[in-house]
């Protein structure tokens, strides 16, 4: 009922396939799946929330259950269809000279129509249990990767090795110190929401790097540098707990931390202390 060639079985690829299915057939009562990590959490603390995955969370928003089979034999009809596809479909593509994923996806609707015309059988019951999509079922919004992050007092958020700087507004100030929703689209763009409202934000650095272009084009330089300083101090504090550092290295690191922290100390005394410990 839905065929697609993809690079891997990722959540976003399942989102795309499921969205096509829902737009064509409507909402089923449930999806009967295997125990792939996309459908069933394998981590002790799933990122989509306690005991769920991003796919299961999206299905819950659509009021669709996800039932996981305990064995391949439990969903034998699907497994037999997979076996047929891996044999017949590959041979059909070879005969047509199809050797790329893009060309394969163009061919799949034609193959599915021919396959159904030749091998489909009428269901035992003519009743269609699919429910139509509701007017408030925003599939573009539902099929996003959703997590929560804490908005700092400086109105910044760390997400996927990036620092997001939230625009200083009344709504943003009210959300400071609270968890806000972080939505990521398939193209990697990020949307921040709190209390049903979207927060404007700018990604100012990635992997700990701030480019000159970021600094020149962003009017929030003071907040950016303050956040960078805090991050550096946190990394240094973690380094101080490393057993591999010598006492001399730790002394120098503490002096460097004092300078960046803006502590009111005598710089000449610091220099003399550092010189004695070289």
Residue 159 lies in a domain: yes
Percent helix, strand and coil across the chain, each to the nearest 5: 45, 15, 40
pLDDT digit string (tens) for 153-196? 888 888 887 888 898 889 999 999 999 999 999 988 899 999 88
Query: Do residues 195 and 231 both lie within one domain?
Result: no
pTM equals 0.69
For residue range 87-103, what is the model confidence (pLDDT) as tens digits?
889 999 999 999 999 99
Residue 53 structure tokens = 């995955």
Q: For residue 25, tell me if it sits in a domain.
A: yes
68 and 19 within one domain:
yes
| Domain containing residue 55: CATH number | 3.30.420
Is residue 139, in this structure, part of any structural domain at all?
no
Torsion of CA 65, 70, 76, 80, to 10 degrees: 100
Pair of tokens at residue 35: 């125990």
Give a yes or no: residue 4 inside a domain: no
pLDDT at 211: 54
229 plus 217 within the same structural domain: no
| Containing structural domain, residue 247 | 224-276
**Residue 159 shares a structural domain with residue 100:** no
Measured CA to CA, the distance from residue 202 to residue 225 in angstroms comes to 15
| Shared domain check, 115 and 23 | yes
Give yes or no: residues 110 and 15 share one domain.
Answer: yes
> How far is 164 from 181, CA to CA, in rounded Å?
13
For the chain, how many structural domains are there in total? Answer: 3
136 part of a folded domain: no
Query: Tell me: the pLDDT tens digits for 31-85?
Result: 888 888 898 887 666 555 556 899 999 999 999 988 888 887 777 778 888 888 8
Residues 205 and 242 in one domain: no
Judge if 211 and 249 occupy the same domain. Answer: no
The answer to whether the beta carbons of residues 167 and 199 sit under 8 Å apart is yes
Query: What is the rounded CA–CA span in Å between residue 201 and residue 155?
Result: 9
Please give the structure tokens belonging to residue 6. 């993809």
**DSSP reduced 3-state for 132:** coil
- Please report whether residue 3 resides in a domain: no
User: Are 76 and 34 contained in the same domain?
Assistant: yes
Give me the pLDDT at residue 184, please.
Answer: 93
Q: What phi, psi does 184 have (nearest 5°)?
A: -115, 130
187 in the same domain as 91? no
**How sure is the predictor about 204, in pLDDT bands with cuts at 50, 70 and 90?**
confident
Q: Which tens digits make up the pLDDT trace of 209-267?
A: 555 554 544 555 566 666 666 776 777 777 777 777 777 777 777 777 676 565 444 44
Q: Do 208 and 231 form a contact (C-beta atoms < 8 A)?
A: yes
Q: Which of 188, 206, 221 is the last residue of a domain?
A: 221
pLDDT in tens, 101-113: 999 999 999 999 9
Q: What angle do CA 80, 86, 87 make, to 5 degrees?
A: 95
pLDDT of residue 270: 46
Taking every pair of Cα atoms in the chain, the longest distance, rounded to a whole number of angstroms, is 89
Report H helices in 137-220.
Answer: 139-142, 170-175, 212-217
What is the per-residue pLDDT across 126-160, written as a single tens digit (0 to 9) for each?
Answer: 888 899 998 889 999 999 999 999 999 888 888 88
Q: Is residue 133 part of a domain?
A: no
Clarify whether residues 26 and 114 are in a common domain: yes
**Residues facing residue 197 across a β-bridge:** 194
The pLDDT of residue 222 is 60
Q: Cα 19 to chain center, whole Å?
A: 17
Is 9 a residue whose pLDDT tops 60?
yes
Strand partners, 194: 197
- 3-state DSSP assignment of residue 263: coil
Q: Are residues 20 and 108 in the same domain?
A: yes
């Amino acid at each position: 009922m839905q065929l697609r060639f993809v690079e891997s079985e990722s959540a976003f690829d399942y989102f795309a396939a499921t969205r096509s299915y829902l737009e064509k057939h409507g909402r089923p009562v449930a999806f009967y799946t295997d125990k792939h990590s996309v459908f069933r959490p394998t981590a002790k603390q799933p990122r989509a929330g306690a005991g769920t995955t991003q796919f299961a969370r999206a299905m819950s928003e659509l009021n669709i259950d996800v039932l996981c089979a305990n064995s391949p034999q439990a969903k034998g009809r699907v497994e037999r269809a997979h076996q047929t596809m891996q044999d017949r479909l590959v041979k059909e593509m070879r005969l047509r000279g199809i050797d790329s994923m893009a060309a394969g996806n163009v061919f799949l609707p034609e193959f599915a129509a021919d396959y159904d015309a030749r091998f489909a059988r009428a269901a035992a019951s003519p009743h269609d249990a699919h429910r139509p999509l509701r007017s408030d079922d925003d599939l573009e919004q539902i099929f996003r990767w959703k997590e929560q992050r804490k908005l700092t007092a400086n109105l910044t958020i760390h997400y996927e090795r990036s620092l997001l700087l939230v625009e200083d507004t009344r709504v943003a100030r009210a959300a400071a110190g609270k968890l806000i929703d972080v939505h990521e689209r398939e193209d990697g763009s990020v949307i921040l929401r709190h209390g049903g409202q979207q927060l404007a934000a700018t990604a100012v650095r990635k992997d700990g790097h701030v480019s000159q272009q970021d600094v020149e084009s962003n009017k929030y330089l003071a907040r950016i540098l303050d956040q960078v300083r805090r991050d550096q101090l946190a990394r240094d504090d973690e380094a101080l707990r490393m057993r591999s550092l010598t006492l001399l290295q730790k002394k120098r690191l503490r002096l460097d931390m004092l300078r960046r922290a803006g502590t009111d100390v005598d710089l000449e005394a610091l220099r003399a202390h550092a010189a004695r410990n070289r």
